[in-house]
A and B are shown apart, each in its own frame.
Chain A
Amino acid sequence: MASPFRTATFRMVALAGSVFAVSAMVVILVLVAVVEKVGDSRFDRVDGATAAAIMTAFDRNGLDGLTAEIEARSRRTPPEIRLFLLQDAAGRRLAGNLQNWPAGAGRSRSDVTISLDGDENMVARVGTYPVPGGGVLMVGTPVPEHRQILRVEAKALIATVLSMALIGILAGVVIARRVLGRLEAVNRTASTILAGNLGQRVPQLGRGDEFDQLAGNINSMLDRIESLLGTVRSVTDNIAHDLRAPLNRLRGRLELALMAPRRPDEYQQALAAAIGEADDIITTFNAMLTIARIEGGAAGAEFETVDLAELVETLADLYQPLAEENGLSLDVAGHSGSLVRGDRHLLSQAISNLVDNAIKYTPAGGRLWLGVTQTAGGVRLTVADSGPGIPPDLRTVVLQPFTRLDPARSTPGTGLGLSLVAAVADRHHARLSLTGNGPGLRVLLEFPPAPGISSAGR
C-alpha cells in the first residue's frame, strides 16, 4: 500500500486540522489579551483614584500627614487587598503595608513580584506617584487569582488545541488508510485486468457510498468493454468460419480453371464465376463490418430527425418493380410526419433488408404490406408478407448472424440481413418483434417517441 501521508485525503485532513489549530490559538490569545487589558485598566483607575485621595492628606498636613494617612490605611487594609508604601527623598521607608520596595516598580504601571512574610510570593500591579519634596508613593493591587488562572488556562487550551490538531492528523492518516484500502481494491482489479483477466470486477460493499458508485461505474464500463470485445471476437470467429468456405470455393474455381488448357470462353466463364464468388465474399464482409460497427456504436453517430413514412415511400418506389416482377403486390400506408431520431442510411438499409426478405421468401401471387403508424408509444413500422412465415420457436434464432432457415439454400443470401436489422433497431432503441401474419411473417419495429419533436399529422 502507498504511504498514507502522500494521499490527497491525508493532505486535506492535515490542512483542515492545521487551519483549525492555528485559528483556535489566535482566538484564545486575543481573548486572553483583551480580558487582561480590561482588568488592568480597572486596577489602574482604582489605584490612581486611591493615590489621589491619599495625596489630599499631604495637601492638608504635609509629609507627616501623609505618613499618618498611610499608616492608618495599612492597618485597615492587608497587602492581599491593596499595597501601600511611602519612602522619602533619600529612599527610606516611611510607612506602608510592605517592608521592602519591590524591584521594578516605576512610574508606568507594571506587574512586579512581591515577597510577603514567610516565603510567600505574590504578583501585583503597581505604580508610583511622586510626593512633592522628593518622596515617592507606591500604590498597587495584587493581581487576582483568576487572571493568573486565565493565563494558565490559556496555556492548557493551547495545549488542547494542539493535541486536537494532532488527533486530527492521526485521524487523517487512519481515514487515508481506509480510502487507500478501497482504492487499492480498484487498483488491484485494474492490474488483473491489465494482466488479461477481463472478467474481474471491482468489489462493491453495498453501502451505496461514492466508492460503491465508483466501483459500479467502473464495473459497467468493464461490462461494456467486455461486450464490445465479445462482438469483435464473434465477428472474428464468424469471419474465420463463414469466409473460409467461400474463399475455398473461389480458390478451387481458379485452380480448376488452370488445371487443363481450356477455350477462351471457358476461361471467361470461370473468371466471371470467380468474380461472383469474390463479390459474395465482399458482401458478407461488408455486412459483418457494418453490423459490428453499429453494435460498437461507431456507425450512426450523427442522428437526425427522420420521417419514416417518407423513407418507406422511397423504398417502396425502389422495390415496387421488383415486387411486381415477382408477382407480388406491394401496399404502402404511412402517416407522413412519423418522425424518429435516427441515422437515415442505417434505417433505409434495415427496412430494405426486411422488404428484400419479404420479396425473396414470398411465392408469386402473394402480398406485401409496408406501413408506418403513429402510436401512443411512438412510431411503428410494419413489414408484412403472405409468405411461409417463420415458426415461432425460430423467430429469435433467425436474428443471429448467419442463420438461414432454408436448408437447401435455394435462395441466395448470407443470413446477415435480420442481424443487421436487429443491430439497427438496438442502436435506435427500437423494439424489434417478429410475429405471424396468418399466413406469413409480420415484422414490427417500434420506435420510441423522438424527444423534442412534436409529431405532425396524427
Chain B
Amino acid sequence: MRVLLIEDDEAAADMVAQGLAESGHVVSIAATAAAGMGLADSMAFDAVILDRMLPDRDGLDLLKEFRSRGRGTPVLLLSALGEVDQRVEGLLGGADDYLAKPFALRELLARLEAVVRRCDGPAETVLRLADLEMDLIARTVTRSGIDIALQPREFRLLEFLMRRAGQVVTRSMLLEGVWHYRFAPETKVIDVQVSRLRQKIDRDFQPPLIHTIRGAGYRIGLGG
C-alpha cells in the first residue's frame, strides 16, 4: 500500500521507510507538516504515519485540519510522549491508533496493517477460517464440525484474532484489545494465554491456524 510518513527526524524516517519498503509498501516521506499536507493533497494514500512533534506545527493540529477537510485516510500517530492522556488526546484528535517512541518496527507494521484493514462495516455474527467456525451470538466454536469448549477469555482472544485473520497481531495489541490494558506486563502472560488457546484450536486438527511470528506476535490464518 501507499504510505505517507510525516516525520522530521531523518534517521528515524529512513529506518521506518526501509521497514515499510521491505514489507512491500510504497513510502513517501515529508519532513514538515506543510510538506506532508502538500503531499496528501497531491496524491492518494492508504495510510498516514504522523509524528506528533514536527518543526513547523504540532502533528495533532495537522491531524485535526486533515480530518476537518473530510479526509478519512487512516492515521497512525507517533509520539515521544507515552502517557495515557496523550494517547487519548491523539485518538480524540482523529488518529486511528497511537504509538509511543521508542517502538518496535514490527509493532508499527502490525498496527499500520490493523488501522488500514479496520472494517467498520456491519458486524458479522459468524466468523470463519478454513474449518474453524465461530458463532458470536451462540458463543460456540467448532472446528471440522466438532465443538470446542472455550473459556470466556479464550473466546474473546480468538474473536480478536479471527477479526484480524491473516494479519500480525502484537502482544500489546492483544493486551489492549482483549484486556484493555495499556502497559506491558511480562510478555509471557500473553504467550501462555495464546498457547492455551492454540492447544484447543490446533492440537487435534490440521493444519495449524495460530502461528507465532518471531519478534512480532501472532497471526491466525492458513499457512506460514
Query: What residues make up the interface of A, taking CB atoms closer than 8 Å to B?
Result: 272, 275, 279, 282-283, 286, 289, 293, 298-299, 301-302, 314, 317-319, 321-322, 325, 345, 348-349, 352, 356
Distance from B73 Cβ to chain A, minimum over Cβ atoms (Å): 29
Known: A272-B215, A275-B215, A345-B84. A319 touches B189 (CB 8 A): yes
Determine if B121 is an interface residue (Cβ-Cβ < 8 Å): no
Q: B153, B182, B183, B188: which contacts A317 (Cβ < 8 A)?
A: B153
Give A230 to B62 CA distance when docked, in angstroms. 37
Q: A352 near B82 (CB under 8 angstroms)?
A: no
Per-residue CB proximity of B178-216 to A under 8 Å, as 1/0?
011111111011001100100000000000000000010
Residues of B contacting A318 in the complex (Cβ-Cβ under 8 angstroms): 153, 179, 181, 185, 189, 193
Query: What residues make up the interface of B, taking CB atoms closer than 8 Å to A?
Result: 82-85, 102, 104, 153, 179-186, 188-189, 192-193, 196, 215
Known: A272-B215, A298-B83, A301-B85. A325 touches B185 (CB 8 A): no
Q: B179, B181, B192: which contacts A321 (Cβ < 8 A)?
A: B192
Distance from A364 Cβ to chain B, minimum over Cβ atoms (Å): 14
Q: B179, B182, B193, B196: which contacts A314 (Cβ < 8 A)?
A: B179
Q: B192 near A345 (CB under 8 angstroms)?
A: no
Residues of B contacting A286 in the complex (Cβ-Cβ under 8 angstroms): 82
- Between A and B, 12 residue pairs with Cβ closer than 8 Å are A286-B82, A314-B179, A317-B179, A318-B185, A318-B189, A319-B189, A321-B192, A321-B193, A321-B196, A322-B189, A325-B192, A345-B181
Q: B182 near A322 (CB under 8 angstroms)?
A: no
Give A243 to B192 CA distance when docked, in angstroms. 30
Q: 12 extra interchain contacts, Cβ-Cβ under 8 A, other than A299-B84, A322-B189, A345-B183?
A: A279-B104, A283-B184, A286-B82, A319-B189, A322-B188, A322-B193, A345-B181, A352-B181, A352-B183, A352-B185, A356-B185, A356-B186
Nearest neighbor of B82 in chain A, beta-carbon distance: A286
Give A325 to B188 CA distance when docked, in angstroms. 10
Nearest neighbor of B197 in chain A, beta-carbon distance: A321
Q: B215 near A302 (CB under 8 angstroms)?
A: no
Q: A348 near B215 (CB under 8 angstroms)?
A: no
Q: A322 near B215 (CB under 8 angstroms)?
A: no
Distance from A403 Cβ to chain B, minimum over Cβ atoms (Å): 19
Give A82 to B72 CA distance when docked, in angstroms. 111
Q: B85 near A302 (CB under 8 angstroms)?
A: yes
Give A119 to B37 CA distance when docked, in angstroms. 108
Give A301 to B189 CA distance when docked, in angstroms. 29
Give A325 to B193 CA distance when docked, in angstroms. 10
9 smallest A-B Cβ distances: which pairs?
A321-B192, A322-B192, A349-B183, A325-B192, A352-B185, A322-B189, A321-B196, A317-B153, A321-B193
Give A318 to B185 CA distance when docked, in angstroms. 10
Give A352 to B182 CA distance when docked, in angstroms. 12
Give A272 to B83 CA distance when docked, in angstroms. 28
Residues of B contacting A293 in the complex (Cβ-Cβ under 8 angstroms): 83
Residues of B contacting A314 in the complex (Cβ-Cβ under 8 angstroms): 179-180
Distance from A286 Cβ to chain B, minimum over Cβ atoms (Å): 7
Residues of B contacting A325 in the complex (Cβ-Cβ under 8 angstroms): 192
Give A289 to B189 CA distance when docked, in angstroms. 23
Give A318 to B189 CA distance when docked, in angstroms. 7
Residues of A contacting B185 in the complex (Cβ-Cβ under 8 angstroms): 318, 352, 356
Residues of A contacting B189 in the complex (Cβ-Cβ under 8 angstroms): 318-319, 321-322
Residues of A contacting B188 in the complex (Cβ-Cβ under 8 angstroms): 322
Known: A314-B179, A348-B181. A299 touches B193 (CB 8 A): no
Nearest neighbor of A302 in chain B, beta-carbon distance: B85
Residues of A contacting B196 in the complex (Cβ-Cβ under 8 angstroms): 321
Residues of A contacting B180 in the complex (Cβ-Cβ under 8 angstroms): 314
Give A345 to B185 CA distance when docked, in angstroms. 12
Q: A282 near B102 (CB under 8 angstroms)?
A: yes
Residues of A contacting B83 in the complex (Cβ-Cβ under 8 angstroms): 293, 298-299
Distance from B90 Cβ to chain A, minimum over Cβ atoms (Å): 16
Distance from A345 Cβ to chain B, minimum over Cβ atoms (Å): 5
Residues of A contacting B153 in the complex (Cβ-Cβ under 8 angstroms): 317-318
Known: A282-B102, A286-B82, A302-B85. A348 touches B183 (CB 8 A): yes
Give A299 to B104 CA distance when docked, in angstroms. 24
Residues of A contacting B102 in the complex (Cβ-Cβ under 8 angstroms): 282
Give A325 to B196 CA distance when docked, in angstroms. 10
Residues of A contacting B192 in the complex (Cβ-Cβ under 8 angstroms): 321-322, 325
Residues of A contacting B104 in the complex (Cβ-Cβ under 8 angstroms): 279
Nearest neighbor of B83 in chain A, beta-carbon distance: A299
Nearest neighbor of A352 in chain B, beta-carbon distance: B185
Give A345 to B181 CA distance when docked, in angstroms. 7
Give A345 to B88 CA distance when docked, in angstroms. 13
Residues of A contacting B85 in the complex (Cβ-Cβ under 8 angstroms): 301-302
Give A318 to B83 CA distance when docked, in angstroms. 23
Nearest neighbor of B196 in chain A, beta-carbon distance: A321
Distance from B158 Cβ to chain A, minimum over Cβ atoms (Å): 14
Residues of B contacting A317 in the complex (Cβ-Cβ under 8 angstroms): 153, 179
Nearest neighbor of B182 in chain A, beta-carbon distance: A345
Give A346 to B215 CA distance when docked, in angstroms. 27
Nearest neighbor of A314 in chain B, beta-carbon distance: B179
Give A319 to B191 CA distance when docked, in angstroms. 11
Nearest neighbor of A276 in chain B, beta-carbon distance: B215
Distance from B27 Cβ to chain A, minimum over Cβ atoms (Å): 23
